[in-house]
Amino acid sequence: MINKRSLWFLTLFSLILVLSIYYITMPSELLLTTNTTVNPEIDESTEPTISVEESDLLVALRVESDEEMASEIEELQTVLTNAESSVDEKNKAYEKIKELNDTRGEEEKLESQIKETYSLDSFIKISNSGISVTVKSEEHDNTLANNIMRTIQSNYEDSKYITVKFQK
C-alpha cells in the first residue's frame, strides 16, 4: 500500500524530472532574451564596433571547457545507448560521465571559494596532471598566488600540482 508521503515524493520527483527534460530539450533560441527596439537616432549604415573585455577570456575558457566536456559526454552516451556495447563498456562509460560531472562540480566549488575569499573572478580546470587556475587580477602578486594555491590545496588530502596564471 502506498502512503501519502510516498505519493507526494513520486509526484514531485516526476514533476522535476519532466521539467528538467523539457529544459534540456528546449531550443536555445527560446532561452536567449533579446531587446529588439528600434532607435531612430542610430544610423544603421555605420559598422558596429566590437569591444573585447578581458573578462571575456575567462568566459572563452569556460565555453571551451564546456564544449570539450559536452562532446566527451556525448561520445560516452552513445556507448551507453548502443545495444552492441557490453555491460563492462557501459559501466565504464557511466563511471566516466559521473567522474566528469563530479570534476565540473569541484571546479565550480573552487571558483566560488576563490570568489568569496579573494573577491577575484577565476577559471579552474582540473585535469589528471593537476589543477590550473586562471585569475582575473590587475596585480600579479606571488603571495596572492601562493595563498590561492594553499586555499585550493586545503580542499584535498593528497598533494596536488596547482598552477596560478594571472590575466588583466
Is the pLDDT assigned to residue 168 strictly greater than 90? no
Q: Which residues contact 130 (CB under 8 A, 6 or more apart)?
A: 160, 161, 162, 163
pTM of model > 0.85: no
Long-range contacts of 152-157 (CB under 8 A, 24+ apart): 152/110, 152/113, 152/114, 152/124, 155/106, 155/109, 155/110, 155/113
Is the pLDDT assigned to residue 154 strictly greater than 80? yes
Q: Which range among 16-25, 47-56, 107-116 has the greatest average pLDDT?
A: 107-116
Confidence at residue 148, expressed as pLDDT on a 0 to 100 scale: 92
Confidence at residue 151, expressed as pLDDT on a 0 to 100 scale: 92
Share of the chain above pLDDT 90, in %: 27
| pLDDT classification of 43: cutoffs 50, 70, 90 | low
Is the pLDDT assigned to residue 26 strictly greater than 50? yes
Is the pLDDT assigned to residue 82 strictly greater than 60? yes
3-15 tens-digit pLDDT: 888 888 889 989 8
Concatenating the DSSP letter of every residue in 46-87 gives SPPP----THHHHHHHHHHHHHHHHHHHHHHHHHHH-TTS-H
Is the pLDDT assigned to residue 54 strictly greater than 50? no
* Residue 35, H or E segment: none
Confidence at residue 46, expressed as pLDDT on a 0 to 100 scale: 60
| pLDDT classification of 39: cutoffs 50, 70, 90 | low
Share of the chain above pLDDT 70, in %: 83
